[in-house]
Amino acid sequence: MTRPLYLEHDGKVLLVDLAGAGPQKAVMGRISEICLRLPTETEVRDMGITWTERRVNRIKFGEAHHEVVCALPEIDWPESWTWKDKLISDGGVHPLARESVYRSMHRVVSKVVITNAKHEVVMAKVKRGFFTGHWTLPGGFVDYGEHPREGAVREVLEELGLEIKIEGQEILISERIFTSEGIQFLSFTYHCNLSEDVVFKPKPDEIEEARWFTFEEALSRAASLFDVEALRAME
């Protein structure tokens, strides 16, 4: 098992060559044999750099297991380091470094707490994905170039067949890394109020059922920590 350091500062990442010399810069669009990689702890110490460890991500490529230490370097602006945006398209950079950049990027999710005059909440029982067979607030991943509020409105229409309007700001923004793999999520949760006589039209391949619950029932059934936090913020 290898244990390299992923050091990022203001969008720049420290890379070294195969002999451990650095810093090195990535070249966008390069097609070549692997010539750049993440440094080891010893190599970083030899550069006179200290760091604060933030977390360890466990990554598996085939039968090989890697532990990547994600850390904040205790330095000023690293002008000679490479931009992370260039790193991902350089074929000469080791896949472990590119995968580490991928895992450092937020997956943006939008959810909606839909309530009625009885203070009930809409929950949907999902048929696919991470929460298959469980109840969640309606919502999902935000598309590229889409505002989280727009994504929330779109997801409710797609999942439940409801056209909603969201007024005001989000009621909660949450961030979580749920597993040792280090994939991180950023969740925006909004609120809207509807009449209890709306007709749900669940998306057949995604939603098994949708219905109203009391706040207490919704809290007890919610499978996502993001949903739990959002519901508690509404109490």
What CATH number is associated with residue 209? 3.90.79.10
* Residues 72 and 187 reside in one and the same domain: no
Angstrom distance (rounded) from CA 126 to CA 46: 51
pLDDT confidence of residue 196: 74
Furthest C-alpha separation in the chain: 68
Domain boundary residue among 103, 122, 151? 103
The mean pLDDT value for 86-97 works out to: 95
* Residues 35 and 19 reside in one and the same domain: yes
* Residues 166 and 74 reside in one and the same domain: no
Domain boundary residue among 84, 103, 122? 103
* Residues 118 and 83 reside in one and the same domain: no
Angstrom distance (rounded) from CA 235 to CA 111: 17
HSE toward the beta carbon, residue 196, CA cutoff 13 A? 9
* Residues 166 and 226 reside in one and the same domain: yes
* Residues 147 and 160 reside in one and the same domain: yes
pLDDT confidence of residue 207: 93
Q: Give the residue numbers spanning the domain of 154.
A: 107-234
* Residues 88 and 189 reside in one and the same domain: no
Tell me the pLDDT tens digit for each residue of 179-191: 888 999 999 999 9
Domain boundary residue among 103, 123, 158? 103
pLDDT at 62 over 90: no
Provide the 8-state DSSP code for 144.
T
- In this prediction, what percent of the chain has a pLDDT beyond 70? 99
* Residues 127 and 228 reside in one and the same domain: yes
| pLDDT band for position 130 (cuts 50, 70, 90) | confident
- Residue 174: enclosing H or E segment and its boundaries? strand 172-177
The DSSP-derived string for 1-57 is -B--EEEEETTEE--EETTS-------TT---S--EEPPPHHHHHHTT--EEEEEEE
